[in-house]
Structure formats: C-alpha cells, structure tokens
Structure 1
Amino acid sequence: MSIHSLLQKFMNRRAEEPSLSIVMLTEGIYLSKVNPNSGLESVSFYELTDNNWDFILSSALKENQCQNLNATVTLGSHLYQSFQLEKPTVPKDEWPVALPFLLKDLITERVTDIVADGVELGDSNKIQAYVVVKRFVEQLKQVLDHRNVKLLKISPEDEVWAHARQDVPAYMLLHRSQKSDFKIGAFVNQGSIFQRTIRGVESPITGEYANSLQIDALALELQRSMDYLSSQLKQVQINKLFLCCDDENNEELREALQERLNVMVEPLLLVDTQHQSGEVLVNETYQLGLKGANLYPPHLQPKKEMFNLDVVAASWLVLFLIMMAIYSVYIPVIIEDA
C-alpha cells in the first residue's frame, strides 16, 4: 500500500451515517435501528399518555439497546412552526444563524430561544423556514447523550413528506396520524409549499363510522386548498392527491374522495399493506438521510477536536512509515559506500 493511499485512509474522515431513525408524533414515539445488511429493522411504537416524551424516549432507547448509534429525529408538526420568507441574501450555510433574526417579528419567543433552518422553494425567491424551541432541542440531545446516541439531524415532518413520492414532481397529500387532525400538504419538486390543518372533521369517517357529511366537509376543504394553489402556482399543475391516514380505511376514503374531486386520488404507498403514518415517516427519514433542513445546526453541535487519540495515532503511523521509507532507500547506499 502506498504512502499516498495511507494518507487518504487516515486523513479523510468517513461521513457519519444514521443508524437509528426516531419519529415523535402526537400519539407517541416510533423508532427503528438500522441493520447494516438489511436496512431498517421493524418499527417499535411507544405511546405518549402525558407530556412525558423524554421519559418514554429514554425507556424506548434502553429497551431496544440503543447505544453508540447515530440518530436522526423527525418531529411532528405540533413541535415546530413553519413560515415562508424571502430568500436571505446571506450564504446558505449561515441561514441557521440568520433566520432567527429574520423571524423575530413572526414569533413570540426570543431570538436566542429558538433554532431555525430552511430550504429553497424551487425556482422562486422564497424559502420554507422551520422553527423549534431551543430548549426542546437541548433536552432531546440530553436524553440521547445519556444512552451514548449521537444526534445527527432533526427534521420537520413536512420536509420528510415532501420526499415520500420522488417519482411525482407535484402532488397534494392528505395525512393524519393517531390523535391528530387531518392535514393537507402540497409538495413541488421535493419541497413543501403549503400546509394546512383541517378543523371540524373528526376521524374516523370510514368503516363502521362512515359519515357522508364528514366526507363532504373534508372534500370541500380539499377543493378549497386546490383552488388556492391553482391561483398561486402559475407554472405548476397539481393533479394528484395521495392519502396516508391512520384509523381510516384508505381504500374506502380514496373511493369517496375520488367521487367528489376532479383529481386522481391514490394511496401514498405503492404497496397494498397499510402502515401507520409514524412507520412511513421512520422509513422515509432513513431514506432521506442527512439531506434537507436540519433543526440541529452546526453551531449547537459539539465542537470536533482537531487532535484526538485517533488523529495522533494516525500521524505517528504515517511518520513512522515515512521514516522507514527513507531508511530503506538510504541505508543500502551508506553500506555500499562503506
């Protein structure tokens, strides 16, 4: 092996990869470890009864023997705020520092008490900004640190849903997790451009609880959202609506909405098996990796030590190999001269 290749091996750091996917929704916490050979393992669910997410998460990590892993966390929309802003003039890698100041007139928290990041919205001059309370991020990191789990990224669920169907450039999504309201999202080129929560429609509205009036109300709100988007998006046409609704018969809901709307209505997943929203998000978060908005920005992450034990050991090894190479070249010459 050449010295150059040894230098490359020791000096180039391997990119960190997620080995644990966690999703925090209204009803509870979903998590799954990554098997190096087969990908994500089966998803475990832990119900939240009170505002005790930190205790539940700690218990879940312990039960699943989650130690010395790298985690990505996805937050339900009840844990963050989102805003559309004009694209900042500062470089993108400085957005996490600049955005809190640009958002100060839109939020009630102090600038120093929030964490923010954003993503560009296609070819427009706007960005989608996400905001979370800094104290929550610090508490989450503390729980993970206690189990030697390294936090790599915090994603808002809207950012994850935007990548759920990368085969479709523009679509709407009607989704609902347990114990939450129906939500409408619109996504263009893997970017979230519209989010809305529907009030007054109580789930379930299919199966034995089928209620045509409730479905009519839901279809009306969907049509209003479509009309609004049509007026705002001049160069993009959204003609697909996907469904991912917990506690509902998605096929029955699909047929009912197809009768009432003039767009194609399809299930979000391409498989026949119906999964909970949290399970879908766990998998999509894993697939997304470290791309997109991150509500755990670099300035909150621990500073990397430039000279740790591994670097020092590698430096000594490289120096030793260089000395041996010099020795192997010059010693025979010295012996011949003698």
Structure 2
Amino acid sequence: MPIKKFNHIPLSVLDLAPINEGDETAQAYKNSVNLAQHVEKLGFNRFWLAEHHNMPGIGSSATSVLIGHIAGHTASIRVGSGGVMLPNHAPLVIAEQFGTLETIYPGRIDLGLGRAPGSDQGTSYALRRTLGTTGDEFPQLVAELENYFSPNPAGRVKAYPGTDLKIPIWLLGSSGFSAQLAAQKGLPFSFASHFAPDYMMQALQLYHQNFKPSKALEKPYVMLGVNIIAADTQERAEWLATSQQQQMFSLMRGEPTTFRAPIDKIEEVWSPREIQIYREKMASESTIVGTPDLVREKLAAFINKTRADEIIVNSQIFHHEDRLRSYEIVADMME
C-alpha cells in the first residue's frame, strides 16, 4: 500500500520491545509483532528497533534477530535498526547478519548505525572485552562495513551474504559527531531528538552545511525522533505518559527496571528535583502528549521548524491497546 504522509513527509515507528512489569519477555515480542502489523496497515513507512543492553525493560538487545522476526510477520513495511551500536560488534558480523536479512526480505531492510554503547561501562566491557574503544574509531568501522557490502570488496575477507547488496545505511546520533560524518559520506541521518532535543538544531545545521552528494544520496535526508503519547483526552494522555516518566527516572538513578504501569501521582514516587530534571529534559518540541488536535498542531509546528524529511515516532505506553490507539491517532493525521 502507498505510504501515507503528514505534512508531505513519511512517518515511521521506533520500538524498544518494552517489557512490562509483570509480563514475560515473550509477551513483549508478541506486542511488537502486533504493533508492526498494525502500523503497516495504517501506512507507516518504517519499523525500527533499537539496541540496548542490561536494561530489564527493553527487549530489543538482539536487534538483528528481532528485525528478522518482525520482517517475517509483516509484508511491506521497511524494518531496520535504530540502531545497531557498531562499536559493540565486528563489522563483518553485522555485514553477514544484515546481508542475510536483506537476502530473505529483499528491499525491506534498513541498517541504522550508532556509535554509543547502548548501556553502561561494565556492559560495554562485557560486549567488547575491552574499554579501549571510545567511539572515535566509528568512521573506520563504518568504512569497513561499507566495504563488505560493495560489489568488489577490498581485502581477502568477504561477507557471504553481504557482498554487492544494496542495504541502505543510515548514521544515527545525538550530537554533532555523526551529523558531520553522515554529511561527509553522503548518507541519510537520523537524530535522536526524542531524548537529546538540546543538540538537534546544531546537528541539523552541521549535516546540511557539510553534506556531499554520494552514490547513496544526492541531497540531504534527515529523520527526527519524536515522542508522541496520544489519547482521546488530555487527562488520559498525561496519565499514560507517567510510564515513560518512571522509565526516565529509573535511568537517571542508574536503576533500570521493567516498564511500569501509569500512576496517578508521580510526585508521590519521585523527588521534586527528579521531576524538575525530567520536565526540563522532556519539555521540548520533540515530546508531544495530548489529544489528537494538540498532537496535530505540535507535530506540524515541529516539522515546519526543523524541515525534517521524515519523522520516527517513539510511543512508550504501558497498555498495549493504548499504544495501538496512539498510533491510530497519529495515522488519522496522515494525508
């Protein structure tokens, strides 16, 4: 089916396979499959999954495996990584994994790459077996990965499958580093404005000012993350948003938990200082909580300000039926 658009740009979905308090991980995967099928019917463009580790409330740690699971239960929506944290992996392994995915689901796989560990320092060591990597080697890792996908890879080692496969590579970031690298390489860029809004405009400026056309892309292409929790009433939306607030607070404390149910009075659970920090961080144009009219107004304003080419929507909502409804509300705004 044709991809529906809002303000003439596609909308996509970011999923973390949230593991709800009291649920088994298997239920999180069933929910992700159901959500992907739901948004595919609604006309969303992509369904991306993000790599995180050592977080009991996030089930998308084995990102490549879950991408294959989602792609196998959908028919047309693009499925990809938002993203794979490349310094955690040997580029050859990622080339083989995504070469396999592209071979099974041709023309539907995206490879979004990030340079952060996706977790704490101890987990980084468990993943990488060294703390000598800082992310500064990210450009070299990307170049190595690109070589494996080329028609005639340099060197003795080849990726099978992988060689000569046209898998779109995106660079992801929450600062200017990946923005500049994406510009230099002529690659599409996705900025994590849903959790790093303060650096968004600076990163966009760096990307557009330094962009060099490439075989992959003739002109800049930016996708921005937006948190949207939409409901039929403002009261319901704000209540549902307390689950995301609790998730943020637990990460701020360094005590990640499973994804928790909404609560009536957030101030009875968290300190005034924690609430203030959260509100300062999330009281931005890239977090929208409210009714259909409010979401439509604020999303349109965000797009008009940023001139984004695509929006990827993150909706962390505890009750699955409310999450489906939130994406229905967003879809109803699409042309």
Q: Same fold (TM over 0.5)?
A: no
Name the structure with the higher strand share: 1
TM-score by length of 2: 0.30
Name the structure with the higher helix share: 2
